[in-house]
Structure 1
Amino acid sequence: MSGWFHRLFSPRWQHSDAHIRVQAVARLDPARAEDRHALEQLCVDDDAEVRLNALAKLNDPAQLLALLANGADSPQLRLRLVALLVGRETGIALHERLALVERLDDEALLADIAMQGDNQQLRLTALERLTDEDVLIHQACENGIAAVRHAAATRVQSEEGLVRLMRHAKRDKHVTRLARERLNQQRADAAQVAAAHAERERILQALEQHGQHAWEPLYAGRYRHLQREWEALKNLPSTEQERRYQDACLRCRKTITDHDAQLHVHEAADRQREDAAQTRQALVEALEESLHGLRLGERLSAQDIDSLRAQKRLLASRWQTLSDHHSPDDALRQRYDAALDEYERLGQAWERLGQHAAALEQALDDNDRPRLATLLDDCAWPEWLPPTALLERARRQLEQDTASEPPSHDERLEAFEHDLRELERLLQRGAFKGASRLHQSLRHRTEHLPGSRLRPHLGTLKRLGAQLAELRDWRGFVAGPKRDQLCQAIAELADDDSIVDAELDRRHRQLVKEWRELGDAAADRELSSRFRAASDRIHERLTPWREALNRQRALNLEARQALCEQLEALLEHPDPSADPDALRDIRDRAREQWRRHSPVPRDHAEAIGRRFGRIRHDLQALIDRRAQEIADAKRELIERARALQASSQSAVQCAEQAKTLQRHWRELGRAPKGEEQALWREFRDICDAIFASREAERDNRAERAKARLDAMQALIDRLDAWHPDTSREAPVLDQAIAEAEALEPLPPGRRSEGMHRRWSGILRARRERLMRLAVSEEVERWQALQPLLSAHLAADAATLAGEEAIDVDGDNTLDGDMMQAHQHRNAARHHPPPELEVEEALTRLRVHLALLAGDRISPQDDALRLAIQVERLNNGLGRELTRAEELHDVLREIFATGPVSESLWSREAGELDTLLSKLLHQSSQ
């Protein structure tokens, strides 16, 4: 009872019967709130008809949009919204609909509004809210308003979308052109970006390879050139490319910085070598001057010999110290050896005199002239050396008994004039010792020369004597305070216990050297005793250090001897293919090791130094010889590169061979310093010319490739714009294919791949169109044969009815095989085959036509279908027939088959017409 009672008193729009709810909708008034609520409830009803009637009562699109937002989605609701928003129903102003569309986010509704709107502004507003590219492409192709199509086309961004738009937008050439232009622009931009990326990769690879190479004369220039190329590119590099670029630049700058530092080291070494050479030259000149001053003196004393020995020891120590770091040149070494030889001869003469001095004194006392002469011969005193007082006494005593004729006055005067000029030269140089000895000798000789002839030279001698006195006073004026200062300094040094032994020895030697350099200027016995006492205290203090130093010197001597032995073994058996750079490294490391093992004992320093000097000279000669061999090999490479430049090979082959020559060049090593840069510059210029030729050939090839691409693009655009109207236009397609084959092969790249894909698609589309046109033309020709076919059917019916067979007159427009089919049909009426055979033939032709049309075949005809397919495969082994040719053959066979009864033809004709209509419809798509 309760259910029945509920149904009795519930509203009709809530009735369980959908038909009653539909009737209830008609009585509801949307102006009333209750009815409007009921209509909203019915908009989501389960029955579609109820929903449709309820939605038809609601005219407020905002209310319907609210229902849609609350989940009441249905096809009827969407259709009602579209009808209201596009303006199919009046009553809603345009600005209200625009406001609703501007807030709408439903893609399907927006697409429908953009496609069906009654106002262009409404469609454009809906189009602006669309984001799906597929929907935009559909709008650009199918929308009925050109402005909307164009606006949709401009919002298609992807390459795939532009391709689809270009293929399907056939109704609007502006859209097609716009899509093509934007697609070409995107591809050009992509190609430009790819080219810029490839160019940056090329520069990066070149810069990374450059950073791995060793330094060469043009290393910095090449690095700056690659930097300028990188900075000249306008596009921004990727993060990975920027990181690789900075790493490569760091490696290149490190190579340049290392070379600059090495160059500075070499320059500093050269400066030190020059300073050492100047110092050595000053030492040699000082020793030569001292030896020369001894020659010019009148008498030779023990003090002169002691002073010369001290000077020689200091010179030898300083010379050896300098030679440990920098070897002297041959000319200066020869001068030094000559001065040492003279010193050795003087020392040997002094030793011989010392050995016979006591005997000479005894012979002088005994007035034993024969013994005296024998002793003088044994002394073998050099003629160029002034005699000592003892020798002078012995010679005078012998000369008293010798009847030798003394030199003439002219000779003595000439010698006096010569010595006078030599005295002036010595005073100008400041050589006090030699000038003092020579002045004494000249004054002594003035007593034995005639005064009349000597008078013109006395004024000069007096003037030079005054200069000598002034020089003596000046030396005394300077030397007095200097001696006091040196005595005070050496006393303070002796009392200083905080200074280390090495520094103490260095400063002590310096003070002793400065003291000896003063000579006899301002000589004072007390100061000399004080200086000597302080020096002895320092010697005593340095005794343990000197002993340790002597042991270290012995070890250094052994290390230097071992180093010399290793180098001598290397020089005795040199490697003929040794790398000069490796030899230079050996030389530099040997020099460094030589310096590290310093000092050595003084009595062995000179001998081992000369030995090492000869070894270094021989090693440098070996380096120069190997470097010269490398220079000759590089000259040969230059000649090969020049021959390669003049060869008739392609520029690419020449460039590859030039790279091989460059690798050989780097493997050879370095030529002599003066020749390496000149050879490299010449070789580099030739290689640059070869590479420039390769680049020019590449540019020409690129221009030709670009011309082929442009020609292919023009051909594609021309064929794309060509839409054949008849199958007789097939030669145009064949000609285009021939032109495309003439342009092949296209250069590899994305553009070529895109062209091939587009060309293949256009060819496929045009072939299909020509095929469809050919099929359509075949069907049209068959339709044109219908009057003649009807005449044949009438003649067939008369023949089958028992009348006499007649021939149907043919049309003059029939082609060859159709004329033969026409004649075969006339002949068949004179000798009609069995009706069953004709029926089977028509059935077979109908199934064949159904296969061509792609129509469904009944199960009872499956055997025929398989037989026809096998026959088609066998016939296609030689040359596959086109669809139009196969259709022509089938229609010809239908036309030739007869006689056909009216019942049979009426049964088959309908299905044949249906299949031909389907083929015609397929061809028109």
Structure 2
Amino acid sequence: MHGLLRRLFAPRWQHPDPEVRLKALDQLDPQQPEQQQALKQLAQDKESNIQLAALLALDDLAELVNALPEHRQDEAWFNAACQRLCGSQGHTDLQKRQAIVAELSEPRLLNAIALQGDNLNLRLAALEQLTVESDFVHQACHNGVAAVRHQAAQRIESEESLKKLLKEARRDRQVIRLAREKLTQLRNDAEWLADQQAQREHLLKQLEQHARAPWEPLYGGRFRHLEREWQSLSHPPSVTQEQRFHQAALSCRKTLHHHETQEQARQQSIAHREEIERTRDQLLEGIEETLEGLAHAEQLTVQDIDSLRAQRQLLGQRWQSLSDQHPPGESVQQRYSQALKRYEVCMEAWQRWQAISTDIETAIANQDNVAIAKYVKQCAWPKHITPPELLKHAQALKDADVSTKPTPTASLNALSADVDNFEHLLERGAFKSASRLYQRLKPSIDELTGEDAKPLKARVKQLGARLAELRDWRGFVAGPKREQLCASIEALADDQHMADVALDRHHRQLVKEWKSLGDAAANREQSARFRAASDRIHERLTPWREQLNQERDANLKGREALCEQLETLLDQPAEDADPDVLREIRDKARHQWRHYSPVPRDQSETVGRRFGAIRHRLQALIDQRAEQIASQKRMLIEQAKSLQDDHELPLAARIASTKQLQQQWRALGRAPKGEEQALWKAFRHTCDQLFAQRDAHKHEQAARQQQKLDQLQTLIDEMDSWQPTQAEESATLASYLESISQLEPLPRNRRSDGMQKRLSGIVRAKRERLSRLEIAHTVQQWHSVLPLVNAHIAADQQALAGEEPQAVDAKEVLSGELPAIFMKAHQQRNHARLTTSTPLSAEKLAELEDGLARLRVHLSLLALGSVKQRDEPLRLAIQVERLNEGINNERSRPDEIIGILAALMALGPMPNQLWRKEAEEFDNLFSRLARVPRP
């Protein structure tokens, strides 16, 4: 009855029939507050047309646009939103419409606004929100505002869209011109990109081929050239190209490093070999000087022999050890063998002398000249060694005693030696030397007399005949040769097409050949011909020689200018000069010096000495700066080692400091060549140890994180297998969550995210189950107090029947204790019965009916999640109340059910008929709530 009255007297805009509500909506005035509130409620109506009409009546553009995605298929919604956003309808100001358009993402609506908007800024704002290039093409071709068309054309970037725009744009020449310019730019960019890619691929192929090639002198320069060419390209390479480049560059650097290592080892080997050769020379020179000293000494003593023997022993030991390291050359070995022979001769002579020295001393004392001669001959002392003083005295006695014998004259022997030399010159073909020697020997040979001179004279006569034959032969050969040379030089003088350089070279060769003939077959006519042709050539080459002299003077000035530049640089060197730059200056200076060639001969030596001194100064400066850099790098190594040993500083700070040290290392130049590699190895080893500590720390941290994830996985598995059976087990869930919170923070990775998602689902399911268990426990408590509820109903009936109202005692009705949640409700029920006048008024009955229905609908929402159609107004009212209560204090589902049950017990006095009307549905709801979900 109450619901029927409410429907009869309710406003027409709340009528169940949508057509009635729609007609009533037209009568509502949004200017009046009550009717405006009704329109707002109708804006939440479930009927689309009613909701649209209410929003249009309210002129609420924001809500209209917000609800548009839910009514995407409804054309009326779209048209209404479009018209109001474009400004053709409605009263929304432009600024608010622009703000709404700036947040839109619907392409169809944005296109319509860009085409139909009542303001340029509004259209541009809609165009700004568009993202698809087909929309830009449409706007650039069909929009009625030129600024919008141009803006849309500016945002088109793809070649396909630009071609389409160029084909369809017929209204705006600027749009066409812009499309053509962009297409041209795209084609140019594509050609440039293709060219860059082709260059990179060409460079990569060259670099990869270079990386596979063996080392050669230009290997490093070609690699640096390819590297500079690669870096000079503007377009960045792809990831694959970058990897290929780094791999090829690494191979090239390995080849260079391998060659440098081999070259360094070779230089060290050469230096070691030179040191060995120098040591050998010193040893040989020492023993040779000692042997020579024995030949020129005033007398030979025992100390000299002992010294020689000790030096020979040292030579043998050192020579063998040096030969094991590096075998000696043939010439050095011959010197060694000759020195040993001389040593053996000396030692053998000394041993013979030691054997007969006593006998000679006795013979001298006895003045036995025969014995003295015998012992001196037996000793056979070498002539090139100074004899001992006693032997020298014995030889003097022997020479004084022996009479002189006739010997060949010294002149005959000397002439015989000259004749031998004369024959040797003839055999070699040295005509001039042989002729001069013959002219000197002939008078002396002719003066010789006697039988001993006849063989020598016959030999000289025979050799003279050979000299005459050689003279005739030279004349026979030299005559045609001179004629040939005269013809050649005359032809050369007449040749006007030969280059001056070649002409000078051929002229010099002919003059050299002419001079080599000497006086063989010489005549004045040929000499005059040759000299005249030569003078003609000299006259012709005079301008060329003057030009060559000018070039030599210019080259000399260039070398002097180069020297002055280098001297200026060396006089005021920069304190932080990079040795690599100085090395480059040195190499370029050498190249320029070779370029300025030739120079005048009389000044080449002077300027050469000047350049040599400058090179030595420049090299000294390079070595000085390189040594300074080496000291700085040693300091960096010490700092890196101190960072490695400083365990108080955090590892991250030490790694950052190490990277800064690496940057400083790269900023410095190179240390001396032999020291750079050793310093770099030491620095890299120290840095690698620090980075190894970082990696170990990372591995340890990753292991700890992995351990955390494993523990979390174990807790999740335990929580998943745990199935609560009582509401009191919520403490177990709390303990699980506490254990999980102790593992935080967790690492951010795919496994952690997956475990977090699984954990959230498990916690949500467990909380839902505990909530259901708590609800079931609450319903069980309700079932346990049903006798008390029935006692209250019976007491209410007695009171409503006119009897004296009585308070119900819970202890008498219930066998156990009354739960605390129902204690206050029980007292309120008794108090309401005792204070309510009977019989009940219609207003009181309507209030009881409305309260009971509200509790039923509320409980139905919690149990089923839905209500019957007739209870929709109550559902809306209850949901509004729940929302209002949830703003300040969020209530759980079990708490709401407890509140409903307590309110149900406290509601009274309740007529039995009214209670029986709702009791069955309450029982069904209680049965549903009492069901416990399966594990």
TM-score, scaled relative to structure 2: 0.47
Q: Identify which of structures 1 and 2 has the higher relative contact order when contacts are C-alpha pairs closer than 8 Å and 6+ apart.
A: 1
TM-score by length of 1: 0.47
